[in-house]
Amino acid sequence: MVRSRIVLSTAGEDHLTVSSAEGDSLASAPLAQVTFSERIGSAPRRLVFPDGSVFETDEHEAIALLEGDTPASRLHAWEAFHPRLAVVILAGIAGVWALWRYGLDIMVAGAIAVTPAALFGAMDAGTIQAIDATMASPSKLSEAERTRIQGIFDDLVATLPPGSIRKGQTYSLGFRSIPAVGPNAFAMPGGSIIMTDAFARKFPKDDVIAGVLGHEIGHVVEDHGLEQVYRSLGIYVLVALMAGDTGPILEDILLEGNLLLSLSFSREKELEADAFGVELLRDAGYNPVGLADFFRELIEMVGDDNGFRATHPSSSDRVQRIEELIEAQ
């Protein structure tokens, strides 16, 4: 490093010359060919000449004059610590809210739209294989039972509006004996729905079966499974991109927050599936009260109240919502 001075001559084309204390020329070039480093904070500015020489200085005002008005200099002006920053902060808060409320949903919908059709089937096949390998055995329900339930299922699927079946989704009902999960029915993104023997035995009424199957079909139609996955991923990516360096403790808190958010999202989706089920039942000719009856029986069997750490809303809430929906019809 050598102490030097820089001179701008404006005779004809603007020209910059760096010379040593003794007056020797160290570097020289037209102003247009000199690269200015971004102005950031109070860090020294660096001017890079075509031959690789670097001139470094703290004389910010002078260099700002040389540099003139550029996007970089305007950015620096905006970053100055000034009451005007309050506007920026408000814009930030508004932006976060908008992104949360709308942006995330748009991103998730886009991701689902571009998910290859083949993937839906593959997810179902893989999940069913895994369940069969680990905790399920073939159903022990009678042929007659299965036919009856299949009939209800086929009624419901037939009632679905044509546009609601996505390419790659095929609705199919499977029966398994899965003692580990008790009376249960669950749906996979590709349209495969499994009902356990215990469920068929404990809740034999047509309307109740229709209610729960309708609810599960609702999960498939609205892509809840994939939504959950993409949403969680989306939040993680956005937080990682924008939180910057928040420190070790906060990273853990933010990730735990992501988990709590996805639980709340999951409860919302359960209520949506209930609402879908009620409509589908009515359209297919079953009594939507069946779904409410299911939750009433559930309250008697295992009690109520789940709290904010649960994936499902409390059964009493669900009964209430369903009855409101039925009345509104």
Partner 1 sequence: MPATPPSLPPSQQTPVPIEFRGDTREWFGIWIVNFVLSIITIGIYSAWAKVRQKKYFYQHTYVGGRNFDYHATGIQILIGRLIVIAGLVVFTVISAIPVLAIFAFLAFLFAVPWLVVRSLLFNARMSSWSNVRFGFFGSYGRAAKITILYPLLAALTLYLAAPFADRARRRFIVDNHTLGKTTFFFDAPISKFYIAALAAVGWVLVVGAVLGFAIVQSGVLDGLFASLEGIDSPPPQAEIGITIATYAALFVVFAPAGALYYAMARNIVFNHSTLGGIHAFRSTVPPLGYVWIVITNAIVIVGSLFMLLPWAQIRKAKFLAAHTEMLVGGSLDEFVGTMQDERNAIGDAYSDIEGLDLDIGI
| Residue 283-322 contact track with partner 1, rule CB under 8 A, x = bound | -------------------xxxxxxxx-------------
Nearer of residues 62 and 260 to partner 1, judged by Cβ: 260
Residue 185 backbone dihedrals phi, psi, to 5 degrees:
-140, 140
Q: Is 126 in the site for partner 1 (CB under 8 A)?
A: yes
Rounded to a whole number of angstroms, the minimum distance from the CB of residue 85 to partner 1 is: 6
Q: Is 78 in the site for partner 1 (CB under 8 A)?
A: yes
Nearer of residues 8 and 94 to partner 1, judged by Cβ: 94
Segment near partner 1 (CB under 8 A), from 78-86, 143-151, 160-168, 207-215?
78-86
* Residue from 64, 37, 65 nearest 49 by CA: 37
Nearer of residues 287 and 311 to partner 1, judged by Cβ: 311
Rounded Cα distance, 62 and 78, in Å: 19
Beta carbons of 44 and 31 less than 8 angstroms apart = no
Q: Is 241 in the site for partner 1 (CB under 8 A)?
A: yes
DSSP letter assigned to residue 292: H
Q: Is 82 in the site for partner 1 (CB under 8 A)?
A: yes
Beta carbons of 199 and 219 less than 8 angstroms apart = no
Residues ≥6 apart with Cβ < 8 Å to 64 = 39, 73
Length of the chain: 329
Residues ≥6 apart with Cβ < 8 Å to 174 = 128, 192, 193, 194, 195
Among 58, 59, 252, 268, binds partner 1 (CB under 8 A): 252
Among 4, 6, 27, 115, binds partner 1 (CB under 8 A): 115
Site residues for partner 1, 10-39, by CB under 8 A, read 38
How does DSSP assign 10-68, residue by residue? -SSS-EEEEEETTS-EEEEEEGGGPEEPPP-TTPPEEEE-TTS-EEEE--HHHHHHHH-
Site residues for partner 1, 134-193, by CB under 8 A, read none
Q: Which long-range contacts (CB under 8 A, 24 or more apart) does 195-199 make?
A: 195/149, 197/139, 197/140, 197/141
Q: What share of the chain is helix, strand, coil (3-state, %, to 5)?
A: 60, 15, 25
Rounded to a whole number of angstroms, the minimum distance from the CB of residue 157 to partner 1 is: 24
Q: How many CB atoms lie within 10 A of CB 19?
A: 15
Rounded to a whole number of angstroms, the minimum distance from the CB of residue 237 to partner 1 is: 6
Beta carbons of 183 and 118 less than 8 angstroms apart = no
Q: What residues form DSSP beta bridges with 5?
A: 19
Nearer of residues 9 and 264 to partner 1, judged by Cβ: 264
Torsion, Cα 320 323 328 329, to 10 degrees, reads 150
Rounded to a whole number of angstroms, the minimum distance from the CB of residue 159 to partner 1 is: 29
Nearer of residues 84 and 140 to partner 1, judged by Cβ: 84
Among 40, 65, 109, 180, binds partner 1 (CB under 8 A): 40
Number of residues that bind partner 1 (CB under 8 A): 62
Rounded to a whole number of angstroms, the minimum distance from the CB of residue 71 to partner 1 is: 11
Rounded to a whole number of angstroms, the minimum distance from the CB of residue 206 to partner 1 is: 29
> Which positions lie near partner 1, rule CB under 8 A?
1, 38, 40-44, 46, 52, 54, 75, 78-82, 85, 88-89, 91-92, 95-96, 99, 103, 107, 111, 115, 119, 122-123, 125-127, 129-130, 229, 233, 236-238, 240-242, 244-253, 302-309
